[in-house]
Amino acid sequence: MTAQAPTLAVRVARKRVEARDICSLELVSADGSALPAFSAGAHIDVHLPGGLTRPYSLCNAPTDTGRYVISVLRDANSRGGSVAVHEAVTDGSLLQISPPKNHFPLADQAPHHLLLAGGIGITPLLAMAETLTTRGEPFELHHCTRARERTAFMERIAAAPYAARVSHHFDDGAPGQQLDIAATLQAAAPGTHLYVCGPQGFMDAVLGTARQQGWPEARLHFEFFSAAPVDTSSDGSFELEIASSGQVITVKPEQTALQALQAAGLDIPMSCEQGVCGTCLTGVKSGTPEHRDQYLTPEERAANDQFLPCCSRAKSPRLVLDL
Ligand code: FES
């Protein structure tokens, strides 16, 4: 069985409104001890009032030790996480969080970095902009949002040393200022690494265009923060075999594989429960997963040697798991 991930106790030192429907939380250690260091692109899992756990990217500079800053959009389609942050968390709230994890790191030794953010997807890219500025590496950041009043961090960016590298694009603005994804990707210097974070449609548009233009997967870096809708109406049952014990667990049609594993007493780390954070990644020794996540690359999916049990299922009657 997997050991329960350790948590850190933090206090909300400051909650502030960043833009319409967006608030940020500044988290400091509850007992004054040092917080673990993090790198740009990292996130923490936040255990929220009401029992939900949700991943949020750290958006302060990694050199800014002593605090973690996250920013959260109140999502009309929220399954409860963003509403809990907006309504149940206040200045002084005590929370448990995971140590930082980074599934979205900056590439080393890239000649140029192109950062494309959709909406609240700006958060990990802000930490990247800070780090690239510190490293002295060339980059440009484009932030696409619905409207100026819904755009977080405009003041922070305007005051930053990298302000001239950032372009804002508003959906309700003049046509000429909107991001031309194809032209921007086409104009990127040879060897540029692309980093994308935002809602599904934005991610699909950027990554689809990049792949059409022949960008190699090794230069595409992305992090989804919500899952694409999936039709679950024809889901059937399948079996999971635990390689270390031989235990066989049936996943019922209305269950996720993760729920079935947990019901059988296996403690699998999890956070987003929708296939975007990678926390529940589990090795597959045999059988064929039906991948429904937004986390693995096309090559990783094709290898079929790992899957995300919070959302993915099986094409074969049984998966043997490396547990
Ligand atoms: S818990 Fe986030 S990918 Fe499974």
- Fold classification of 8-97 (topology level): Elongation Factor Tu (Ef-tu); domain 3 (2.40.30)
The finding on whether 310 has its CB within 6 A of some atom of ligand 1 is yes
Enter the DSSP assignment of 271. Answer: S
Q: Is 19 in the pocket of ligand 1 (CB under 6 A)?
A: no
Q: What number does the ligand 1 atom closest to the CA of 258 have? A: 4
276 CA from centroid of ligand 1 (Å): 6
For domain 238-321, is the CATH number 3.40.50.720? no
- Domain 113-224: top CATH class: alpha beta
Atom of ligand 1 nearest to the CA of 275: 3
Residue 308 tokens read as 């995300």
Are 163 and 189 in contact by the 8 Å Cβ rule? The answer is no
C-beta separation of 130 from 62 below 8 A: yes
The residues pairing with 212 across neighbouring beta strands, listed in sequence order, are: none
Using DSSP, state whether 313 is helix, strand or coil: strand
Cα 80 to middle of ligand 1, angstroms: 16
Is the CB of 270 within 6 Å of ligand 1?
Answer: yes
Whether residue 280 has its Cβ less than 6 Å from ligand 1: yes
Question: One digit per residue, pLDDT tens: the chain, 323 residues?
Answer: 444 558 899 999 999 999 999 999 999 999 999 999 999 999 998 998 888 888 899 999 999 999 999 999 998 766 678 888 898 999 999 999 999 999 899 999 899 999 999 999 999 999 999 999 999 999 999 999 999 999 999 999 999 999 999 999 999 999 889 999 999 999 999 999 999 999 888 999 999 999 999 999 999 999 887 666 677 778 899 999 999 999 999 999 999 999 999 999 998 988 888 888 888 999 999 999 999 998 888 889 999 999 999 999 999 999 999 99
Q: What pLDDT shows up at residue 141?
A: 98
pLDDT at 79: 67
User: How many whole angstroms from 278 Cα to the centroid of ligand 1?
Assistant: 5
User: What value, to the nearest 5°, has the Cα angle with vertex 227 and ends 120 and 38?
Assistant: 50
In the prediction, which pLDDT does 3 show? 42
Cβ–ligand 1 distance for 314 under 6 Å, the answer no
Q: How far is the CA of 55 from the centre of ligand 1 (A)?
A: 9
CA within 13 Å, CB half, 72: 29
The answer to whether domain 113-224 and domain 238-321 are alike in fold is: no
Whether the CB-CB separation of 149 and 124 falls below 8 Å is answered with no
What was the pLDDT predicted at 228?
A: 63
What pLDDT score does 229 carry?
64
Distance 134 CA to ligand 1 centre (A): 31
The domain spans of the chain are 8-97, 113-224, 238-321
Beta bridge partners of 118: 144
Q: Which residues pair with 240 in a beta bridge?
A: 249, 319
